[in-house]
């Protein structure tokens, strides 16, 4: 996974830390109600991270 992040960062010409900060900021800006990973029951599929 880290290698994939590094590849994407290199492609964009930024550092790993920078791309992770941007992705986190984008994710935090999204409204919680538009999370496509939640199913009809409101739970996430097995193996996904749970929201805090």
2-52 pLDDT, tens digit per residue, is 999 999 999 999 999 999 999 999 999 988 765 566 555 555 655 655 554
Tokens of 50: 């749970």
The alpha carbon of 19 is separated from its chain's Cα centroid by a whole number of angstroms, namely 11
Residue 33: the pLDDT is: 66
- Among all chains, which residue has been given the structure tokens 């791309």? 19
Angle 49-47-26 from CA coordinates, rounded to 5°: 35
Residue 17: the pLDDT is: 97
Residue 28: the pLDDT is: 95
Compute CA distances 11 → 2, 5, 43, whole Å.
14, 10, 35
Residue 31: the pLDDT is: 86
- Among all chains, which residue has been given the structure tokens 């538009």? 34
The pTM for the full model equals 0.54
């Amino acid at each position: 996974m880290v290698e994939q992040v590094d590849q994407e960062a290199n492609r964009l010409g930024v550092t790993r830390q920078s791309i992770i900060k941007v992705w986190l900021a984008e994710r935090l800006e999204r409204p919680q109600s538009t999370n496509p990973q939640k199913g009809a029951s409101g739970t996430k599929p097995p193996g996904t991270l749970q929201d805090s």
